[in-house]
Structure 1
């Protein structure tokens, strides 16, 4: 039983990392310059930090292989938003960028029977 859960979690991690790489490529095509990926601190993690036009963008990537647990966008909960904001604040302080114009984007990747659907929500929260 535990072995099954371990393998399931490993597959989810691999899928998550693959989705983040797909997201990086997508954002680059949209004109984003990737500054950092997987920024971590005690407060949380930010998947992608990028420059886009005049903004420093903190981007959350959410991917779903199916809709069993809801859409990718539904996974961006108020609790997750709070952690992202706190982590962004930590990043800005550590990098001495407290006066930077910032934005929070969400990139969703949903696998459907019709194929993969990606949606970029700028200034999501």
Structure 2
């Protein structure tokens, strides 16, 4: 399980680097409350982006995107509301993005889907 945890943390760092390079401003990482955790909160222009990061070393358990279920998206919406409750910053919109990383032959591929819910 430790290897999976390390893979996940490494994937989150790659995702944050990718988002910064794409012009996003990272606001917070691994924000949590009693209901769960948001991997990355970012600003894309004036929009708040809740980013779910999924990292896989193979497809034996399905693709990284298949792990983001409707229940997970609903929980992310609830968590976003909790996070926003403690903020004074204004956002014109809120969306949920998924950044999926899959490792094949030692190399990671990154897929970024915007506004998945």
- Can you give the 5+ residue segments of structure 1 that lack an aligned partner in the other structure? 1-8
Per the normalisation by structure 1, the TM-score is 0.86
Distance in 1 (alpha carbons) for counterparts of 2:4 and 2:97: 22
Aligned residue pairs: how many? 117
Per the normalisation by structure 2, the TM-score is 0.92
Q: Given the alignment, which residue of 65, 88, 94 partners 2:86?
A: 94
- The answer as to 2:65 corresponding to 1:73 is yes
Instruction: Give the RMSD, CA atoms, in angstroms.
Output: 1.7
Distance in 1 (alpha carbons) for counterparts of 2:112 and 2:17: 13
**Highest Rg: 1 or 2?**
1
Which of 86-95 and 114-123 deviates more? 114-123
- Can you give the 5+ residue segments of structure 2 that lack an aligned partner in the other structure? none
Runs of 4+ in 1 over 6 A off after TM superposition: none
* 8 Å CA contact 1:45, 1:87 repeated in 2: yes
Question: Which position in structure 2 is the counterpart of 1:22?
Answer: 14
Question: Which position in structure 2 is the counterpart of 1:52?
Answer: 44
Per-residue CA deviations over 1:90-120 (Å, capped at 9, x if unaligned) read 0011214586521111100012349422111
* 8 Å CA contact 1:23, 1:107 repeated in 2: yes
* 8 Å CA contact 1:44, 1:86 repeated in 2: no
* 8 Å CA contact 2:48, 2:91 repeated in 1: no
Distance in 2 (alpha carbons) for counterparts of 1:84 and 1:98: 19
Q: Residues 57, 99 of structure 1: CA spacing in aligned structure 2 closer, same or farther, 3 A cutoff?
A: closer
Looking at both structures, which has the greater relative contact order when contacts are Cα pairs under 8 Å and sequence separation is at least 6? Answer: 2
Q: Given the alignment, which residue of 26, 32, 42 partners 2:24?
A: 32
